[in-house]
Amino acid sequence: MRNRKLAVLGMITALMVGWAILQNRISQNVNTADFSSSALIEGLQIESVAGITITSEKGEKITTLDRTGGVFVVADKDNYPADVAAVNALFNGCLDIRTREKTTDNPNNHADLEVTPQTARSVVSFSDADGGQIVALVLSPSNEKGEAFARLLSETGVYSIQYLPQIKTDPMDFVDAQLFQVSQDQLSSIAVRTPEDSYILTVSDDGAGIELQDMPAGKQYKETVYKSVFGALSSLRFGDVVSDENASQELQFDSLYTCKLKDKTVYKLMLAKKDGEIYAKVLADYLDKTPVEKTVGQVESEEELKVKEAKLLAIDAVKAFNKKHGGWVYQIAAPNAENLMKPLSEILEDSPEPEPETAELTEKPLA
């Protein structure tokens, strides 16, 4: 009996020792990860950054973002306003880089690890208002083992990193390319004018269909092409942008796509076609020009106040649209580009000929 108790006590002791060793190992692993992992960039104050340069393709391609008037612009696109979300993603991607361990301090190893400006996947440099470099980091591509390396450009130490951020490197990556996003339930009518012809598509009275104003006799819609034309602004993006003053002088804006919304907002796209590409200048307007005034000595209903508020919001939206897009020429991305200049002949076809009526043959009764 005594031996059995001793055996049980021995087993309990062994389990406790094993559990203590396991906890110690877990603790060591956690501590090692915590102390060995640190941020590659420390102390970068985003508000102090006035310029960002991104170099890629082994030093051959450069994208520049500059802070102007409190916002970033894409210098490579004639200072077009940069997409705030894309700029923030760049900052966060760089600030989130965590190092694992130092790989080398020897500059002779930099080229092999692909952390020189000529061999790196990308180099991101942050500068201040005077053009001085605040900090710059160099990122290698991933090797065959999935490893990636990074270093600060001003230092020789190279570190393996926990993950390689997806650094965007093209100027258009920092532009919000969504030009229009108009849902069909907002539409009242669209008008297309090209050098060949012009036509107007409107929402039917019951709101369920789309009607062609003055449909020619003997014609009908060709499949659903007219729907694509009517909804061309449902998700219209651009592939490139240039300032009006730097646009090609050969562009002839001889076509017009006009979109009228139910709230009396109007969007106009002046269109040109060159070398198979379609370019647009865009403008917004609000048709109701009567001023919004407070009626003195009269209590307005909640419905009246909502109508006035909606009108003021629409007017503000038009002003903001023109402020952002005025002075720019957009290269419209496929596939919706062609729908903006679709001639009438491509949305209509001949109606089928009616089948001839056949007379019923009846037998006459015998006399």
pLDDT level of residue 305 (50, 70, 90 thresholds)? confident
Q: Retrieve residue 160's tokens.
A: 């393996």
CB 254, CB 272: distance < 8 Å: yes
- Return d(Cα 282, Cα 10) in angstroms, integer: 85
Q: Is residue 30 very low, low, confident or very high in pLDDT (cuts 50, 70, 90)? A: very low
pLDDT single digits (tens) 166-207: 999 999 999 999 999 999 999 999 999 999 999 999 999 888
Can you tell me which residue has the tokens 């269109």?
A: 271
Long-range CB pairs of 90-96 (<8 Å, 24+ gap) are 90/52, 90/54, 90/124, 90/167, 90/168, 90/174, 91/46, 93/165, 93/166, 93/167, 94/40, 94/41, 94/44, 94/124, 94/137, 94/165, 94/167, 95/39, 95/41, 95/44, 96/39, 96/165
pTM: 0.81
Is the omega angle on the peptide bond into residue 335 within 30 degrees of 0, that is, cis? yes
Q: What does the pLDDT read at residue 32?
A: 36
> In the predicted model, is pLDDT for residue 40 greater than 70?
yes
Sign of CA dihedral 144, 145, 146, 149: negative
pLDDT at 367: 47
Residue 145 has pLDDT above 80, yes or no: yes
Cα separation, 6 vs 12, in Å, equals 10
What token pair was written down for 356? 């001839």
Average pLDDT over residues 117-145: 94
Per-residue pLDDT for 29 more than 60?
no
- Find the farthest-apart pair of alpha carbons in the chain and give their distance in angstroms, rounded: 132
Structure confidence at residue 297 (pLDDT): 63
For 251-275, the pLDDT digits (tens) are 999 999 999 999 999 999 999 999 9
Highest mean pLDDT among 15-19, 156-160, 308-312: 156-160
Task: Label residue 148 by pLDDT band (50, 70, 90).
Answer: very high
Give whichever of 26-30, 78-82, 287-291, 355-359 has the largest mean pLDDT: 78-82
